[in-house]
Structure 1
Amino acid sequence: MSGPLYVPVLPVRPHAVAAVKDLAQWTRDRMAPLWTLPVMTAANADELQQAVDKEVGRVAAVQKYTWAWLDAPYAELDKTPYVNLLPFYWSHTPLRPVTDPDRPASHQDVAAHSAREGGNGLGIRIRLPNTWNDGLAERTAALLARTDPEVRVDLLLDLQAVRPGRPDTGKEALRALDALVPLTSWRTVAALAGGFPDDIDGLLERDRGDADRIDWETWYEIRASGRSYAEAVRYGDYGTLPARNLSRAADDGDRSPFGLLRYTTARSFLLARFWAGKRGETGVTREAARWITESPDFRGEGASKGDLWYRQCARTTGSKGTGNAGTWNKVGNVQHMTYVVRCLSEDAERT
């Protein structure tokens, strides 16, 4: 087994594409995103095709020289506009197709055919939001049996939200890997988990606080298990957004009146919330950024473009504005992905 050091699970949205663009090449070379196309809506089939083509085209452009996976779990691949559009991207760009054992046979067949045509391989995403069941291994084996043996396959074990309410997630992940790893010669095995909290109200005191990175702890539990495959398992996460964010429609209109700056430390997310309901109120955003930059865990403006943005935003004056929700999502993930790759690289050098 081989593969990238890091697999960030990213939505096919402009802020995530912009975040990857802002990463240093050293960081991008050591990661391979799992891009996920959210629910897409439009007035008619033509508008839907244009919207999908535009969003996926952005991802294909940013991944022009580095491969990644592209998952479309909400797309009906036997219907317009997906029937030709996604197989084109899967077969003619560095975006590898993804399917899973619980999707319709039509989805699995199109993804497997695209993998064979494009030669990039096939990602098999196993979602484990709760406890493991052996039926998943049986369905995965059936999917592998229907896939051309020449197609290289990647195992993407998606634990989804990993929060304090799931204390046995590491054990469930190991049960899953014990059953899935022996099924075939996987090119890559990755454990993906979303550690960012869904609801931060209970974590904040005067709109400042932190949240434990439970997903990080879960991955270390897998690595320390002593399993023969353990050191080959790659780390993946949902960045600085909750796992549930991935399934939201791109235009669902669910806008919070609050803004949120996030910053990743060794074991936690720093959280700074502020009222953003009124345009032009930059002072509260700068105050939130200042709280982050004054933390002993702040790594300095030279650490990444995200860290630089926090430093510049924290200044009491400046010609630049303080951005919007897309900006805050972007810079949060830039500093997060840069830091994760650096930590994983240091771990790799020690082992």
Structure 2
Amino acid sequence: MRPHAVAAFKDLAPWTRDRTAPLWTLPVMTAGDADELQQAVRKEIGRVAAVQKYTPGWLDAPYADLDEDPCATLLPFYWSHTALRPVTAPDLPAAHQAAAADSAQEGGNGLGIRVRLPHGWSEERGENTAALLSRVGPEVPVDLLLDLQTVLPDRPDAGKEALRALDALVPLTPWRTVAVLSGAFPDQVDRLLDRDRGEADRTDWETWHEVRLSGRSYAKAVRYGDYGTLPARHLGRAAGGGERSRFGLLRYTTDRSFLLARFWAEKRGETGVTREAARWITEAPEFRGGPASSGELWYQRCAHATGSQGTGNAGTWNQVGNVQHMTYVVRCLQGRAV
């Protein structure tokens, strides 16, 4: 739930946006007092609610304290009175689970259950999920969001881990949606770069195909989800937190990899390095051209613009990278990739 993510979703073409169900996650929120915290939470969620009016999406708040205001009041309101479906998890406090379940019953939009699987599956996770489902009740539609989190090449068994989890979780209830989520953008890109250019494998994409081709009775019904072009670890960062990198990074999603173009961005008074990075992307054989999405169009304009026209900042680069990525993924899933 960052400004660049909201801007990316808003910038999607209608055909793509209508086929996308975002899982918005409220970041860690810090404030001096309860009033400041209330304003901050309202601002974050309100920005999302404004663009998520007509199609459903999920709103997860794993870091919020639902025992106390303002979250105890604000979150049930948004969960019950907007298109944002509530999300809870088997490892969250009882107060969080109860508030999300009550909101799902009141709002009638169903409940997302996000089962995090950063490592291997354990029977305890299955038992905790079953216990949560028993508290929710059979009248509430439920969505299974199996979150593998980071799936890089050093996790070759991620597909098997997902299948083991799904084998245990799918029979627990008639899920309305079953989705597998993961992130494959690397935490550190230095080892992948040669003179600030390189590629990263889309390991999560391979993992999802492994699930779909597993032959399981539920396999063809599993939906695809990912973290976009940022590392999965960014999810736990506080709003406005984290040190700003001295480097900028342009990302472009191809069939099996992310193209990476890094450049020096600290105190830059010169936009040439950004344009060089954009040109490298536009000259790649996999580049699909401006008509493919507004992301591709931005890369073209950045690569070839002259004079005083700006090249954006980190928020811009994250936004256009995700627009390009999301558009391409949706078209691939619909069998219409170009």
Query: Structure 2 stretches of 5 or more lacking a match?
Result: none
1:229 aligns with 2:218: yes
Give, in whole Å, the separation in 1 of the partners of 2:68 and 2:154. Answer: 39
1:36, 1:70 within 8 Å by CA — same for their partners in 2?
yes
TM-score, L = length of structure 1: 0.95
Q: 1:93 to 1:326 in 2, by over 3 A?
A: same
User: Aligned with 1:302: secondary structure?
Assistant: helix
Q: Tell me how far 1:320 sits from its aligned partner.
A: 2.7
Local SS of the residue matching 1:274: strand
Residue 53 (structure 2) aligns with: 64
Distance in structure 2 (CA, Å) of the matches to 1:69 and 1:322: 32
Residue-by-residue CA offset, 1:265-296 (whole Å, 9 max, x unaligned):
00000000000001332110000000000001
2:71 pairs with 75, 82, 91, which one? 82
How many residues are aligned here?
337
Residue 93 (structure 2) aligns with: 104
Amino acid in structure 2 at the alignment position of 1:117:
E
* 2:125 is the counterpart of 1:136: yes
CA distance in structure 1 between the aligned counterparts of 2:277 and 2:113, rounded to whole angstroms: 40
1:182 equivalent in alignment to 2:176: no
Residue of structure 2 in register with 1:35 after alignment: 24
What do you get for the CA RMSD once the two structures are aligned? 1.1
Whole-angstrom CA distance in 2 between matches of 1:331 and 1:318: 21
Q: Does 1:159 align with 2:113?
A: no
Q: How does 1:41-52 map to 2 (within 5 A)?
A: 41-52=30-41
Match of 2:281 in 1: 292
String of CA shifts for 1:49-85, please: whole Å, max 9, x gaps. Answer: 1011011001001001111000000001111210110
Indicate the SS of the match to 1:241: coil
The one-letter code sitting in structure 1 at the alignment partner of 2:297 is L
Distance in 2 (alpha carbons) for counterparts of 1:153 and 1:113: 13
How far apart, in 1, do the equivalents of 2:65 and 2:305 lie? Answer: 50
In the alignment, residue 81 of structure 2 is paired with which amino acid?
A: H
Offset at residue 334 of structure 1 (A): 0.2
Alpha-carbon distance in structure 2 between the residues aligned to 1:80 and 1:328: 35
Give the match's secondary structure for 1:346: coil
Q: Which amino acid aligns with 1:24?
A: A
Q: Which residue of 1 aligns with 2:313?
A: 324
C-alpha contact (below 8 Å) 1:72/1:98 kept by paired residues: yes
Runs of 4+ aligned structure 1 residues displaced above 3 Å come to: none
Tell which has more relative contact order, 1 or 2 (C-alpha 8 A, sep 6+): 1
Tell me, in whole angstroms, the C-alpha distance in 2 between the residues paired with 1:250 and 1:147.
Answer: 30
Mark the CA change 1:130 to 1:26 in structure 2 (over 3 Å): closer, same or farther: same
Question: What's the TM-score once normalised by structure 2's chain length?
Answer: 0.98
**1:244 and 2:261 equivalent?**
no
